[in-house]
Amino acid sequence: MHAPRLFTPIAIRGLEVRNRLWVSPMCQYSADAEPGMPTPWHLVHLGSMAAGGAGAVILEATGVVPEGRISARDLGLWNDAQRDALRPIVEFVHARGAAVGIQLAHAGRKASTHPPFGTGGRGSVPIADGGWEAVAPSAVAFGDYAVPRALTVDEIAGIVTAFAAAARRAVQAGFDLVELHAAHGYLLHQFLSPLSNRRSDEYGGSLENRARLLLEVLEAVRAAVGESVPVLVRFSATDWAPDGWTPEETSIVAGWAAARGADLFDVSTGGLVPGVDIPTGPGYQLPFAAAVRQRTGMPVAAVGQIDRAEQAEQALVSGQADVILSAREMLRDRNFALRAARELGATPPVPGQYARAFA
């Protein structure tokens, strides 16, 4: 019998991951001890999913600068203390046999917001209440959030440098891979989409110009992490809105990114425009991942209500994706990977402490 595709290893540059069912980055809004610092919650949250058999665990959107956080409770990697505090989490995940990555991000106009629980607030946090000024490619607000300030060209250069510095710290902390967050309406996505990028300089207008920041960040991160560390890019393949970012543009820019050292594309959708009607359902984003894979010839990771073992297996066997990233199902069942292995007839990567439950 052939091993299920979901539980065959995958090699990306110098990294071999034990299976293809990975934990998607999920904001936890739990870095509330010190700015940007992880807490015991992160160790337990991430470590339990590694113990639950995931091939790789990718940490949540992590701010490369303080003002790049979605909220004051987000992780950061703009200083060495944060790097050192993340290292024990990396070591624990490795000890459970999983690879570990980190998603580097800048929230842009979606920064300085109330976390979704614990405060009772919503939307932008005023500066008088501990918030900060949000920045973006253009002074165009996200819905009823505060209007951001348009970045200067010099400030854009500083953001490129910040991404590279954070990526360098990630490697020093032991992370196996780095993902750049160019999706869900955050800064790199804001530059890509003509709905949020209304600049008239070299960072706006044409597709080449709108993609310039992402490609500069990618080149700087690749140089910072070296040739052996995989670099992933998460795209939102469509804004689901007229005159917005399109699947065709996603594939074109993904091709440019591949030429500059990207190794895998994590394909999601939406997040730039509030209130749009998105036709969700089981596997609803798989066609977008499949299109990027077909048009670029590059490996892709798929997301979006893929919450059954056989469904995930078929997405791989049919050639729609190379990796499945799970979020909500991992929250519902941190042993999803162990359960999926049993259901598909593979040998679950069970920790010795749990072996009696899978005998």
Residues classed as catalytic: 186
Please name the residue ranges forming H helices in the chain: 40-51, 80-95, 153-173, 187-192, 207-210, 212-225, 247-259, 286-296, 309-317, 328-332, 336-344
What secondary structure does DSSP assign to 265-309, as a single string? Answer: EEEE---SSTT------TTTTHHHHHHHHHHH---EEE-SS--SH
Alpha-carbon distances of 24 from 179, 308, 326, rounded to whole Å: 11, 15, 5
Cβ neighbours for 213, distance < 8 A, ≥ 6 positions apart: 137, 156, 159, 160, 188, 191, 203
- Distance separating alpha carbons of residues 262 and 234, to the nearest angstrom: 11
| DSSP-assigned beta bridge partners for residue 61 | 103
Q: Are 332 and 297 in contact (CB under 8 A)?
A: no
Hey, what are 325's tokens? 């990233």
Alpha-carbon distances of 355 from 15, 43, 46, 105, rounded to whole Å: 27, 22, 20, 38
Cα 311 from chain centre: 22
What secondary structure does DSSP assign to 296-342, as a single string? Answer: H---EEE-SS--SHHHHHHHHHTTS-SEEEESHHHHH-TTHHHHHHH
Cβ neighbours for 356, distance < 8 A, ≥ 6 positions apart: none
- Distance separating alpha carbons of residues 58 and 179, to the nearest angstrom: 8
